[in-house]
A and B are shown apart, each in its own frame.
Chain A
């Protein structure tokens, strides 16, 4: 079991990633305000298609999103595991396929990949057909919306952009904020 209880405040662990630890520990940027949208993602499309197509119509390329619920006809998700090869500290395990899941809650980030295509990073909790509740990293491009639409609250980030870049410290592609041309 991974779980334990204690009355004392546990000592937090410090991990050592394979690459050099950079001096900036919190990368942050600010917009003067967020544009908000409510989306209802249609049945039969993947979460990725539904989110990216709706937000492209509103010229939104970077956003933070809350997934409020809905049905998933099919769902693939991964869990984070220690990397047995030691190349990285933690990696995703093999995708777990589910059919007929109900989304409970999720958070997602829309940004751009290194090759400039839309990319959605999503974590969520969901209920399986038999009632069991699980959670993890949801593969949006391999998860299809079911009969009940997935409702999403979007906070669009217009004055900077989110982009995935290779991170030397963790040796993983990670999302981080970057200035947009013409904005400070």
Chain B
């Protein structure tokens, strides 16, 4: 059996910071930030803020909804990748805390995590090298 390591060489480019306002979807907000700044690929460098309700995908595919307001995002990691059709797609995972301080974790579900008060996010552009293909 052969083992395949998919390695993408590249370097970090520009850095963008955004304050995403209430009622914007977290994942699409991150994608819109990349569109506005002209980033094709990016990694999350820092993020904190609150959601009205949080929606995380469970391993069985179900949505786990944590009701707010407000749900605090206490950890976030992820990236945005340009898709073959030219669209941008974010993949974000993280940990949220509810109104009692209890924590929950998992991938955020697109379209179901709207910002409550504010969301601060910093993205660093990822520039893949030309010789990856």
A residues lining the B interface (CB < 8 Å) = 2-10, 12-15, 17, 21-22, 24-34, 64-66, 77, 79-82, 89-90, 93, 96, 104-109, 121-125, 133-137, 155, 157, 160, 162, 167, 169-170, 172, 174-177
Contacts and interface: CB of A to CB of B under 8 A. Distances in A.
Interface stretch (B1-9, B65-73, B83-91): B65-73
Interface residues of B, number: 66
A122 B48 CA distance: 7
Contacts of A167: 118
Nearest to B75: A105
Interface in B47-92: 47-50, 52-53, 55, 58, 61-76
Q: Tell me the dominant secondary structure on chain A's binding face.
A: strand
A123 B86 CA distance: 34
Contact of A155 (B46, B61, B102, B113): B46
A134 to B, nearest CB: 4
Contact of B15 (A5, A30, A81, A176): A30
Contacts of A136: 72, 74, 97, 101
Contact of A135 (B15, B47, B97): B97
A4 B15 contact: no
A88 to B, nearest CB: 8
Given A5-B63, A66-B45, A175-B120, A123 B69 contact: no
A43 to B, nearest CB: 23
Contacts of A122: 48
Contact of A9 (B53, B99, B109, B117): B109
A33 B53 CA distance: 34
Contacts of A3: 64-67, 98, 104
Contact of B101 (A9, A31, A134, A162): A134
Q: Which 10 A-B pairs give the minimum distances between C-beta atoms?
A: A64-B46, A135-B97, A64-B122, A135-B74, A80-B70, A28-B18, A34-B15, A90-B70, A123-B48, A134-B101
A121 B99 contact: no
Contact of A106 (B22, B58, B74, B100): B74
A80 B21 CA distance: 17
Interface string B119-132: 01010100000000
Contacts of B103: 125, 133-135
Nearest to B124: A34
